[in-house]
Structure 1
Amino acid sequence: MKSPAHILRRLWQRAAERRRIARFNKALRHLHGPKTPEIPADEVLAIVLVRNGNYYMDAFFDYYRALGIKHFAFIDNGSTDDTIERLRREPGVILDQCALPLAGYEDLLRAYPAQTYGQNRWCLYIDMDEVFDFEGRARIGLTGLVSYLEGQGATAMVAQMLEMFPKAPLSAVADFSYAHALDEFTYFDISRLDRFDYHSVEIPFAALLEGNTISNASLQFMFGGVRGKAFGENCCLTKHPLVFNGPEVAPGLHPHLSAGVRCADITGVIKHYKFAGDMAARDAASLLSGDLAHGEDAARTAVLSQTPDVTLFSLEARRWNRVELLIRAGFALGSDQYTAYLEQHHS
């Protein structure tokens, strides 16, 4: 039997959660696009949480439209550049805004577009500095990938984040445009990774993964990478970017995952360009705002203050080629079934 203190604590937590949701709903604004968009059942909705995303805009849309995305649901978290104006001019864009701090509302910010516009649809969670890729992309495209996932009965695909960086010191490339950075940031470093089984209790948010199922026992969560090596960050490198938002799924509960999903037997790769542009200035701004729950920005700022010309390049760096080589390296996962699918249906 639960104690009175436990019952009171649960009641207080529920009341606090109702107040949090009410604050979010009050702060939410619909800025652009249809409130009931007509998104065909066989198309993928891109969901993007953005703040001051103008720097990435052109190259971002070029890549994801080429991938086959026609519908984008952005939720703005208080941009002060011309992100809003730019997004209003882009076709296929829905735009909402909520400027409440990420630290207390990120789950609601990420879940809202999926629950409002992406019910019973495949949703691709991406940030503007991320490039989602997968084995066979050039041959089968996103449509072919989704067809494979549906044939498996999967409702999510995991991807591992690959931090991309240049050979030069970061300070030397701070003024590069995003398109220029995509061309020049051709290296990655996976020499130091902390790996955990998907359902390991050592994962900080293991409780959120309990209801998820996997079809490949080799599926792992990874932490650290080159950011851990250079800045001491214990950053999570694993995400569930592609999710079918069906009745059993709770999308965007955490920046890196959704709950109630059945994970596919393959993983993708997210090339992450966090160090494109003036990262030091962005970190300083986020520290000043004080609205992030983690200490990663502070860790990077501390290192940069001591070593302004820090470089991520070393003898352990590798040059990007294609996803298939990362499967051979054990960073991403392939499967015999997927290989057969590629050969049989898309030769």
Structure 2
Amino acid sequence: MGAWAEWQARLRKAWMIYGVRPFQIRQVARSIEHIAGPLDVEIGPDDLAVFCLLWDGELYVHSFMRHYLGLGVKHIFLLDNGSSDRTLELARQYPQATILRSCLPFKTHKMALRHYLIRRFAAPNRWALYVDVDELFDYPYSDAVPLPDFLGYLRRYGYTAVVAYMLDMFADGPLAQLDSDIEDDLPGKYRFYDLSDVVKMDYYFPKNELPTPEIKAYFGGIRRALFAPDELRFVLTKHPLFLRDGRLQPLFVD
């Protein structure tokens, strides 16, 4: 890329972030419909609120809610993007969830939808976890260390975010023969994984301060092995857990 093309790309990115996106976030705010649950939730310093933008996620709702409530989260905020299946019906069964809906097009407003959810409901100086409906976050020794203790440890030692690696899970049969149901225990059914094609590279966000150089960026995994063995486009590194301390700003990447 030449200097002129690079300058144009930076200008387009800056215009999107500082010009278009604030306008889109205001559009989202005007489009929001409150479906169920409280709009104001008291979140303590060692509590965790979960945030999720979803669409037609009926297959995952029960596993998602049961996992995070079992993990010990305080509250879950769901922003539905116009589901036509039973997503809203199933989610309303959980009093610990606040459910909102916006039918703005995902293709053009996906970043604004996510930013609105965090800006409106993630409390200042409190922990937030942003995940997709098919993602079940876990942390080391969660079977022995309660979630408030884990969050208290992070706060006590000055950490403001946690790097996490996505692990694609699969069942023990051919994909063509699998059939999942709304009531299925998905973590129990899809319990296998493969690390053989995970590629580690240097961490790529220079503005983030790492406690150790041992933290790397992961790419590839089973999807790379199956669909694109010569490519590294399958990014497995995320930063889903963060503290809204006034300095850290969530960055959602396309």
Taking structure 1 as the reference length, what is the TM-score of the superposition?
Answer: 0.63
The reply to whether residue 254 of structure 1 matches residue 249 of structure 2 is: no
**Cα distance between partner residues in 2 of 1:60 and 1:152:** 29
The reply to whether residue 212 of structure 1 matches residue 208 of structure 2 is: yes
Cross-structure match for 2:20: 16
Structure 2 counterpart of 1:160, from 158, 162, 165: 165
Structure 2 counterpart of 1:71, from 75, 80, 85: 75
Point out the structure with the larger helix share.
Answer: 1
The root-mean-square deviation of aligned C-alpha atoms, in Å, is 2.5
Report if aligned partners of 2:46, 2:149 keep a CA contact under 8 Å in 1.
Answer: no
The reply to whether residue 56 of structure 1 matches residue 54 of structure 2 is: no
User: Could you tell me how far 1:118 is from its partner in structure 2?
Assistant: 1.5
Q: Which structure 1 residue ranges, 5 or more long, are not aligned? A: 200-208, 256-292, 294-347
Q: Secondary structure at the match of 2:217?
A: strand
Q: Highest CA radius of gyration, 1 or 2? A: 1
Taking structure 2 as the reference length, what is the TM-score of the superposition?
Answer: 0.84
Structure 1 counterpart of 2:114, from 110, 113, 129: 110
The reply to whether residue 230 of structure 1 matches residue 226 of structure 2 is: yes
Cα–Cα, structure 1 residues 127 and 15, in superposed 2: closer, same or farther, change >3 Å?
A: closer
User: Could you tell me how far 1:104 is from its partner in structure 2?
Assistant: 2.5
**Cα distance between partner residues in 1 of 2:86 and 2:15:** 41
User: Could you tell me how far 1:57 is from its partner in structure 2?
Assistant: 2.1
Cα–Cα, structure 1 residues 240 and 101, in superposed 2: closer, same or farther, change >3 Å?
A: same
Cα–Cα, structure 1 residues 45 and 181, in superposed 2: closer, same or farther, change >3 Å?
A: closer
Q: Which amino acid aligns with 1:220?
A: K
Bigger shift: 120-129 or 102-111? 102-111
Q: Secondary structure at the match of 2:218?
A: strand
Cross-structure match for 1:123: 128
Cα–Cα, structure 1 residues 15 and 158, in superposed 2: closer, same or farther, change >3 Å?
A: closer
Cα–Cα, structure 1 residues 41 and 12, in superposed 2: closer, same or farther, change >3 Å?
A: closer
**Cα distance between partner residues in 1 of 2:28 and 2:240:** 23
**Cα distance between partner residues in 2 of 1:12 and 1:129:** 32
Q: Secondary structure at the match of 1:242?
A: strand
Matched length:
241
**Cα distance between partner residues in 1 of 2:206 and 2:239:** 14
Report if aligned partners of 1:197, 1:218 keep a CA contact under 8 Å in 2.
Answer: no
How does 1:277-316 map onto structure 2 within 5 Å? Answer: none
Deviation string for 1:135-161 (max 9, x for gaps)?
Answer: 211111211211211122001111111
Report if aligned partners of 1:76, 1:95 keep a CA contact under 8 Å in 2.
Answer: yes
User: Could you tell me how far 1:180 is from its partner in structure 2?
Assistant: 4.2
Deviation string for 1:226-266 (max 9, x for gaps)?
Answer: 10110127221111121111201212x215xxxxxxxxxxx
Report if aligned partners of 2:37, 2:95 keep a CA contact under 8 Å in 1.
Answer: no
Cross-structure match for 1:239: 238
Deviation string for 1:100-159 (max 9, x for gaps)?
Answer: 233322222222222212222101122221221222111112112112111220011111
The reply to whether residue 95 of structure 1 matches residue 99 of structure 2 is: yes
Deviation string for 1:245-295 (max 9, x for gaps)?
Answer: 1201212x215xxxxxxxxxxxxxxxxxxxxxxxxxxxxxxxxxxxxx6xx
Cα–Cα, structure 1 residues 115 and 182, in superposed 2: closer, same or farther, change >3 Å?
A: same
The reply to whether residue 40 of structure 1 matches residue 44 of structure 2 is: yes
Point out the structure with the larger strand share.
Answer: 1
User: Could you tell me how far 1:172 is from its partner in structure 2?
Assistant: 1.0
User: Could you tell me how far 1:177 is from its partner in structure 2?
Assistant: 5.0
Report if aligned partners of 1:114, 1:245 keep a CA contact under 8 Å in 2.
Answer: no
Identity of aligned residues (%): 31
**Cα distance between partner residues in 2 of 1:12 and 1:148:** 39
User: Could you tell me how far 1:15 is from its partner in structure 2?
Assistant: 4.2
